[in-house]
Structure 1
């Protein structure tokens, strides 16, 4: 991934390397730096929280301006930890969708997270994009698999022509869960810790496996090396910060005029 620095030399966002060679694709993942929000939302809080909506909006304008994307071209949804997908025809604010897809140039899709897994996808042939929010519920309900299928059905996407980024989230070593959550995951994506009497779940690899099972090539998938918990100085973590924190944003769009 590539860092893009603010004036204090801390990255405002990072760009996934997997999309670097794709012309006119704008893709990035925010950090917590370079915004206007005070503690505990400091400082680039981009989503729903107890923070002032004035701060959140100002941060969004600052973030997208740094990417060269007009804010009025952004499409987001209020996420509900489900598996509903919307095919976006025009920039807007939607309700109840955890994945957005589009093949319309000039629409910047975005999802917010603070431990859940963001996944970005781009179809290089049909110039179609997807932005996915996958918490543990979305992961076990197959939201990534369903999104790839929706891209196939809606745009004729061939998974072999798709590139994907599995973004920064809570890592396996920090995602401690009880049996009520662990029971939904296969043994490949959970680990029992005898000393703690808890399971640990690997959301990154669980979602990466859905991409592979859907037909994406291994070499076309990048997984973030960062953790919202282990690298909390750069990222927001709902769990580590006891629910009083900001939101990160992962975004992708195709802008042939840029």
Structure 2
């Protein structure tokens, strides 16, 4: 089942959230921007070699398309860790790979180009989370830790949560060495018997953390897209040897 509906060339809205009119939730594509190759074209990543004026214009276009402004946005320079920020105001922060907030009108988000973006909405307490999960964050349980932080900060319960596991590298493309593969449970990895290479399913690994917290599977949407297999639609750091742009996945409750 397709869990993402296309609204414009600039972004996709997770279908799991479309029944909540007060919620803004979207992930960007690589289309509709002004950046030249190799960042073509909607590069939203600040920490790239792209001209900052291009990134600023791309961000303006993206936020306009989702009915918001860049001045409403809180994000962080991500470090592939498990630190979580309770965001109370817009701005650019440092060292966090997940953000949570219950402030109306404040959007939070993460940048990705193969790693997994996870968006969570607590419809009872009107609280949200945006998570960046690479393999290190996944192993560190960043989804689990974020949900625990929401529980402590807002009183979040699993039954009232809706979640989206966004577009990222697919299992067939995410080849890892044995030192990485051994950190994942057997059900989350496979080995090519001919080559001996290991592959990790990051979508499934992070979905498992959502269900382990108690979120009902019917309240979890998973992107059917891959940054590698659908590289014409999304940026992939691995497929493009690091010379590429970044997408944003954002979420917030309207004023």
Residue matched to 1:8: none
Matches within 5 A, 1:172-251: 172-251=171-250
Quote the residue 1:132 is aligned against: 131
Q: How do 1:65-214 residues align onto structure 2 when only pairs under 5 Å count?
A: 65-214=64-213
Match of 2:16 in 1: 18
Q: How many residues align?
A: 251
Could you say which residue in structure 2 is the equivalent of 1:28? 26
1:194 is displaced (CA, Å) by 1.6
- Following the alignment from structure 2 to structure 1, what is the Cα–Cα distance between the partners of residues 202 and 164? 13
TM-score normalised by structure 1 residue count: 0.96
Q: Which runs of 4+ in 1 moved over 3 A?
A: none
Task: Write the deviation string for residues 165-203 of structure 1: whole angstroms up to 9, x where unpaired.
Answer: 000000001001110110110101000112222100000
Partner of 2:5 in structure 1? 2
Give 1:17 shift.
0.2
In 1, Cα distance between equivalents of 2:25 and 2:37: 27
- SS across alignment from 2:10: strand
CA-to-aligned-CA distance 1:63-94 (integer Å, 9 cap, x gap):
00111102100001000000000000111110
Unaligned runs of 5+ in 1: 6-10
The separation in 2 between residues aligned to 1:203 and 1:130, in whole angstroms, is 18
SS at match of 2:132: strand
| Alpha-carbon shift at residue 4 of structure 1 (Å) | 2.1
Shift of residue 57, structure 1, vs aligned partner: 1.1
Q: Which string of whole-angstrom CA distances, capped at 9 and with x for unpartnered residues, describes residues 206-255 of structure 1?
A: 00000000111110000000000000000000000000000011000000
Could you state the TM-score of these two structures normalised by the residue count of structure 2? Answer: 0.97
> What secondary structure, in the 3-state scheme, does the structure 2 residue paired with 1:209 have?
helix
Q: Distance in 2 between matches of 1:194 and 1:2?
A: 37
Task: Summarize deviations over 1:86-140 as a string: whole Å, max 9, x none.
Answer: 0001111100000000001010011000000000000000000000000000000
Q: CA RMSD in A?
A: 0.7
SS at match of 1:61: helix
Which residue does the alignment assign to 1:40? 38
